[in-house]
C-alpha cells in the first residue's frame, strides 16, 4: 500500500513538473501571460497556463487508473488484494466518475476562457452553480450524512462546492499560496481517507497532492508561471470533492458525530480569507467579485513580511488548524470543543496581527 501511494505521488509529481515546464515555455512563446494591473498584486509579466498542466496531469492519472482497473484487473489480483480494492465496486460507479470528470472539465474550460477573455463574475458564478449541481446530482458529490432528502443534500453540496472553488480562486493572489494550501489541506484529507480505508478517495488525494507539488516547483516565489482561473477552479473543485467523498463519521466504531466538522476546521484558513476579504469589500461599497489587494496574504505582507514569509505563514496557519482536525476522530466532546476553540484562536491571532498592521 505504501509503495502504491509512493508510486502515485512520485509519478504525478514528475508528470506535473514535465507538463508545467512545457506549458510555461509555450505560454511565453504565444504571449499567454498575466500582465501588471494597477489594482492587483502582480507587478511583472508572468506566463499563464499552469492550470492546463494541473488539469491534464489529473485527467491522465484518473483515466489511466480507470483503464487499468477495467482492462488489466486479472493481472493485478495481488495488488488489488494488498490495497483492498474491489474492481467491481469501482466500475459500478463509473457513471459517477464520468459526471465528475465532465464537471471538472467544464470548470477548466470556464477558467481558461476567463483567463483569455475576462468574463463577468455573474456568468462565472452561474456556470459554477450549474456544474456544482450536476456534480452533486449525477456525480453524487454531495453531503449525505444526517440529510436524507436528496434535493436538500444536492443544493447544500452545490453551495459548498461553489464556496470552496471560489475560496481557492481568491487564494490565488500570491506566488504559491493557492497550490500550497490546497496541497496541505489535501494531505490532511488523505490522512482521513486512509484512516477510513477509502482507497480510491485516498488515491485521488495523493495524485492531487503530487500534481500540486509539481506545479509548485515553478509557482513558488518568484513564480515562473501562474495557474490562472483554469487552475484555481479545478483545484477548488478537487478539494471540495475530497471534503465530501471522505468518510469522517463511523457510528458503529465511535459514535463521535462531531468529526463531521473536520472539513470546516481543515478549511479554516481558506474560508477566513474568503469571508474576510468579502466583508471588507462590501463594507467599502465594492463588489466582492472584483479583485484587489486586500486578501489575507496582502494584509500580512503589509505587516512587513516578505512574499516567502507571508506564504509560509499561510502554510503554518493551515497546518495548525488542519493537524488539530485530525484528532476529531479520537477525542471526546470536550476535546472537540478545545480543537474548535484552538482553530478560532489561531484565526483571532491572525486577525489581531492584521489589525495592528492596518493601524500602523
Are 42 and 221 in contact by the 8 Å Cβ rule? The answer is no
pLDDT of residue 252: 45
Share of the chain above pLDDT 90, in %: 52
Query: What count of Cα atoms within 13 Å lies in the side-chain half-sphere of residue 56?
Result: 18
Q: Is it the case that residue 92 has pLDDT exceeding 70?
A: no
- pTM score: 0.91
Domain layout of the chain by residue ranges? 2-359
For the stretch 252-264, pLDDT in tens is 455 567 778 899 9
Question: What is the DSSP annotation of 29-82?
Answer: HHT-EE---TTSS--S-EE--HHHHHHHHHHHHHHHHHHHHHHSGGG-HHHHHH
d(CA 291, CA 286): 10
Three cell numbers, residue 65: 487508473
Average pLDDT over residues 60-68: 87
Q: Average pLDDT of 349-354?
A: 80
- Cβ(268)–Cβ(346) under 8 Å? yes
> 219-222: long-range contacts (C-beta < 8 A, 24 or more apart)?
219/50, 219/175, 219/176, 219/179, 220/175, 220/176, 220/180, 220/311, 221/174, 221/175, 221/176, 221/307, 221/308, 221/311, 222/175, 222/307
Can you tell me the distance from the alpha carbon of 110 to that of 332, in angstroms, rounded to the nearest whole number? Answer: 44
**Better pLDDT: 104 or 304:** 104
Interior/surface letters 22-60, b for 16+ CB within 10 angstroms, e for the rest: ebbeebbeeebbbeeeeeebbeeebbbbbbbbbbbbbeb
* Residue pLDDT, tens place only, 14-42: 999 999 999 999 999 999 998 876 556 66
The runs of H, that is alpha helices, within the chain are 2-30, 50-71, 77-82, 87-92, 94-117, 121-137, 150-171, 177-195, 199-219, 228-245, 262-266, 268-283, 296-301, 307-325, 333-359
Whether the pLDDT of residue 102 is over 90: the answer is yes
- What does the alpha-carbon distance between residue 336 and residue 325 come to, in Å, rounded to a whole number? 9
Averaged pLDDT, 286-310: 80
Overall average pLDDT of the 165-169 stretch: 95
Residue 249 confidence (pLDDT): 59
Amino acid at each position: 500500500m505504501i509503495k502504491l501511494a509512493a508510486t502515485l505521488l512520485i509519478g504525478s509529481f514528475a508528470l506535473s513538473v514535465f507538463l508545467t515546464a512545457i506549458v510555461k515555455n509555450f505560454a511565453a512563446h504565444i504571449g499567454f501571460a498575466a500582465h501588471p494591473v494597477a489594482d492587483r498584486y502582480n507587478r511583472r509579466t508572468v506566463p499563464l497556463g499552469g492550470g492546463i498542466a494541473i488539469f491534464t496531469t489529473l485527467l491522465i492519472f484518473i483515466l489511466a487508473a480507470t483503464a487499468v482497473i477495467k482492462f488489466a484487473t486479472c493481472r493485478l489480483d495481488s495488488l488489488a488484494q494488498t490495497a483492498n480494492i474491489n474492481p467491481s465496486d469501482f466500475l459500478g460507479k463509473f457513471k459517477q466518475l464520468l459526471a465528475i470528470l465532465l464537471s471538472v472539465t467544464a470548470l477548466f474550460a470556464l477558467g481558461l476562457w476567463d483567463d483569455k477573455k475576462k468574463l463577468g463574475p455573474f456568468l462565472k458564478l452561474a456556470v459554477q452553480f450549474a456544474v456544482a449541481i450536476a456534480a452533486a446530482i449525477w456525480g453524487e458529490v454531495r453531503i449525505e450524512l444526517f440529510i436524507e432528502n436528496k434535493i436538500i443534500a444536492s443544493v447544500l453540496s452545490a453551495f459548498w462546492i461553489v464556496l470552496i472553488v471560489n475560496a481557492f480562486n481568491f487564494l490565488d493572489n500570491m506566488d504559491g499560496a493557492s497550490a500550497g494550501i490546497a496541497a496541505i489541506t489535501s494531505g490532511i484529507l488523505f490522512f482521513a481517507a486512509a484512516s477510513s480505508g477509502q482507497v480510491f478517495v485516498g488515491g485521488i488525494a495523493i495524485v492531487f497532492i503530487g500534481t500540486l507539488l509539481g506545479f509548485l516547483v515553478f509557482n513558488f516565489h518568484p513564480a515562473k508561471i501562474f495557474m490562472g482561473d483554469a487552475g484555481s477552479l479545478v483545484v477548488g473543485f478537487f478539494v471540495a470533492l475530497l471534503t465530501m467523498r471522505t468518510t469522517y463519521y463511523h457510528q458503529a466504531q465511535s459514535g463521535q458525530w462531531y468529526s463531521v466538522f473536520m472539513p470546516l476546521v481543515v478549511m479554516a484558513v481558506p474560508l477566513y480569507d474568503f469571508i474576510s476579504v468579502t466583508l471588507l469589500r462590501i463594507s467599502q461599497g465594492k463588489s466582492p467579485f472584483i479583485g484587489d489587494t486586500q486578501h489575507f496574504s496582502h494584509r500580512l505582507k503589509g505587516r512587513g513580511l516578505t512574499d516567502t514569509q507571508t506564504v509560509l505563514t499561510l502554510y503554518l496557519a493551515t497546518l495548525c488548524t488542519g493537524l488539530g482536525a485530525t484528532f476529531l476522530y479520537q477525542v471526546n466532546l470536550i476535546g472537540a470543543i478545545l480543537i474548535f476553540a484552538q482553530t478560532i484562536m489561531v484565526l483571532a491571532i491572525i486577525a489581531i496581527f492584521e489589525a495592528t498592521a492596518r493601524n500602523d
